């Protein structure tokens, strides 16, 4: 059996039994990639790279271990009748493209119109982080954040706008630096009220300073 066939068989076994690869498996995979790229994983500068990459992946993709809906479970009723826009603007966004596992870097704006309850603003930021720390495409990321806020909080409306640069496009392939991608999802009153939609979108124009 070839090495590739052995790896595939082991992956199928883990899938059938609901198992995850071990840290040792992950480090061995990085070592293979280093060898495949043409370098020597035993040289001084690379000897600890497999372990470093495994630790980095734990941080990059920790969103798989967190339920974003649970982050929004604790809400507050004492709003003194406040029922207007609540928005977090210009949050830095860092994710990874699921096609090439390279960074997606940009900014995200999240807003909602409260119904009877509000949530701590840090929880909105955490929901963004949970979904961003998974392998993504920007369209899916935008929808996941908006839909989760809508489903859990049941507000009168939700708006999510993302503008980001994709390293899979700027550093490889077509190589078009300076290009950003814009996605948005509008739910509830943000869809049905043109004036509200216009006010929100005009207030979240992304800075031209870039995302680095």
Which ranges in the chain belong to alpha helices (H)? 3-16, 23-37, 49-60, 68-71, 121-132, 138-153, 167-170, 189-192, 194-203
pLDDT digits (tens, 9 = 90+) for 2-31: 777 777 777 787 888 888 889 999 999 999
Q: Domain segments of the chain: what residues?
A: 3-60, 79-203
> Out of 100, 129, 139, 150, which one is annotated catalytic?
100
Question: Distances from the Cα of 100 to the Cαs of 92, 96, 135, 172, in angstroms?
Answer: 21, 8, 9, 10
Q: Which residue among 168, 189, 195, 209 is the active-site one? A: 168
Catalytic residue chosen out of the listed positions 138, 144, 150, 163: 138
The length of the chain in residues reads: 212
166 is annotated as an active-site residue = yes
pLDDT confidence of residue 206: 55
Q: Does domain 3-60 have CATH number 1.10.286.10?
A: yes
Active-site annotation holds for 24: no
144 is catalytic: no
Stretch 161-184: mean pLDDT, rounded? 90
- Whole-angstrom distance between the N-terminal and C-terminal Cα of the chain? 46
> Judging by DSSP bridges, how do beta strands 135-136 and 86-97 pair with one another?
parallel
Structure tokens at 148: 């989760």
- Give me the pLDDT at residue 1, please: 67
Instruction: Please tell me the class of the 79-203 domain.
Output: alpha beta
Which of these is catalytic: 24, 99, 139, 154?
A: 99
For residue 211, name the pLDDT band (cuts at 50, 70, 90): low
Distance, CA of 184 to CA of 187 (rounded, Å):
10
Residues 106-118: pLDDT tens digits? 999 999 999 888 9
CA distance 61 to 26: 14
**pTM of the full structure:** 0.89
From the candidates 136, 144, 150, 166, give the one annotated as an active-site residue: 166
Instruction: Express each pLDDT in 27-66 by its tens digit.
Output: 999 999 999 999 999 999 999 999 999 999 999 999 999 9
């Amino acid at each position: 059996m070839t090495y590739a066939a052995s790896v595939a068989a082991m992956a199928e076994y883990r899938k059938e039994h609901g198992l995850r690869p071990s840290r040792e498996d992950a480090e061995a995979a990085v070592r293979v990639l280093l060898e495949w790229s043409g370098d020597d994983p035993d040289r001084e500068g690379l000897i600890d790279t497999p372990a470093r990459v495994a630790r980095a992946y734990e941080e990059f993709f920790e969103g798989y271990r967190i339920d974003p809906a649970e982050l929004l479970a604790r809400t507050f009723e004492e709003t003194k009748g406040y029922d207007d826009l609540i928005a977090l603007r210009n949050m830095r966004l860092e994710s990874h493209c699921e096609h090439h596992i390279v960074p997606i870097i940009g900014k995200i704006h999240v807003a909602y119109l409260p119904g009877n309850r509000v949530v701590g603003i840090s929880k909105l930021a955490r929901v963004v982080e949970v979904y961003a720390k998974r392998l993504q495409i920007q369209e899916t990321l935008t929808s996941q954040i908006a839909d989760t806020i809508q489903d859990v909080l049941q507000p009168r409306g939700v708006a999510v706008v993302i503008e980001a640069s994709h390293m899979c496009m700027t550093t490889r392939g077509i190589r078009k630096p300076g290009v950003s991608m814009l996605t948005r999802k509008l739910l509830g009153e943000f869809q049905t009220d043109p004036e509200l939609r216009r006010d929100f979108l005009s207030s979240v124009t992304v800075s031209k300073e870039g995302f680095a």
